[in-house]
Amino acid sequence: MMNQRNSFIIQTIIWLLLLFVFYLVTSHKAGELVIFGYGLLNISIFYLSYFFVTPFILSKKRYYKGSYRLLVIIVVSVLIKYGVALIYESDVMYYGENYNKRYTDTQYLWSAGLVSLFFVLLSFCLRLTHNFFIQEREKRMLENEKLAAELSFLKSQINPHFLFNSLNNIYSLTYHKSDKAPEAILKLSGIMRYMLQESDDDRVQLKDEIAYMENYISLQQLRFKEEIAIDYKIDIENMELRIMPLLLISFLENAFKHGVVTNKEYPIRILIEVVNNRLHFKVSNFKNKLNKDQVSGIGLENLKRRLELGYPNQYSLMVDDKELFYSSELFLYL
């Protein structure tokens, strides 16, 4: 509503300025009434063409209907101008230094027709420009909706994948009647609350994403009889920087799934630091040779696609897969 009002005000100002210029460059002999009358008539031609001609001409199926309307508008406008010229013949039809020359009827009709055609073409150009920006805006909206839908789908893949792994871990604890099972369920409950509530946003605070990962690590600690070996370093001054939710969990999942987690000589190394709003996140682990399944599942491909959609040309992802060690490293501008 406000945009329409602003557009109306802007258009009114532009037309008033054009009428004023028309008044300055036209002979005052014709009189203000005739001058502004012609101006209002040309403005009417513009809007009649804009709303009732150009939409049909731009539509292939209604091209002939638009052409017919265009012809009617030009003919009627020329006849009106010619009628006004005959009524005010001495003021309109004569020109020259002493107004001693007269337009022939043919000359005036051609002149009036060209002026009307000019305002028709002006409306046509404006309609084309307007349609172009509308189409571009709709195109961007569709692209954004498509990207949002794809991101939502990728995120939905993470949730059941993570839940499946976690429930397997809790099942193992309950099967062995471990006292850690209730605590594991409580940890999982907190993690799922974050996944269902906070992760609905496009971006979350970095502190929330890190807290989510730390809860995940705590849940994994409950899974093993031995204490897991983790070298965890964090260096972030501004925890309120925002990041796409559930973006970093794939690194950890891969390390716990395919790495040796209880070897204190080769611990899982986790580094999180931010320098000049650039996130550096690295996870490395010693490979578990007993685990023959070296496929990370949907995790890594999911992560790459989400980075492409959410941070185009703003990230660098490196994976180093050696015989004994595996590491993944992400540089990301927040």
**Confidence at residue 225, expressed as pLDDT on a 0 to 100 scale:** 66
Q: In degrees rounded to 5, what are phi and psi of residue 231?
A: -105, 100
**Confidence at residue 233, expressed as pLDDT on a 0 to 100 scale:** 93
Domains of the chain: 2-139 (no CATH), 178-333 (3.30.565.10)
Q: List per-residue pLDDT tens for the chain, 334 residues long.
A: 446 666 667 677 777 777 776 666 565 555 666 677 888 888 889 888 888 888 888 776 677 788 888 889 999 999 998 888 888 887 778 776 667 788 888 888 998 899 899 889 988 888 888 888 888 887 777 676 666 666 565 565 555 666 776 788 788 778 878 787 888 888 888 777 777 766 667 888 999 889 888 888 888 887 776 788 899 999 998 999 999 888 888 888 888 888 888 888 889 999 999 999 999 999 999 988 765 554 444 567 778 888 888 898 899 999 998 888 999 999 999 8
Instruction: Enter the pTM of the model.
Output: 0.55
* Dihedral over alpha carbons 33, 38, 44, 45 (to 10 degrees): 170
Q: Distance between CA 57 and CA 197 in Å, rounded?
A: 50
**Residue whose entry in the numeric block shows the structure tokens 């052409």:** 67
The length of the chain is 334
Helix axes 32-52, 105-175, angle to 10 degrees: 40
DSSP codes joined into one string, 90-139: HHHTEESTTS-EE--HHHHHHHHHHHHHHHHHHHHHHHHHHHHHHHHHHH
Residue type, 56: F
**Confidence at residue 236, expressed as pLDDT on a 0 to 100 scale:** 92
Nearest Cα residue to 245 out of 286, 299, 196, 185: 196
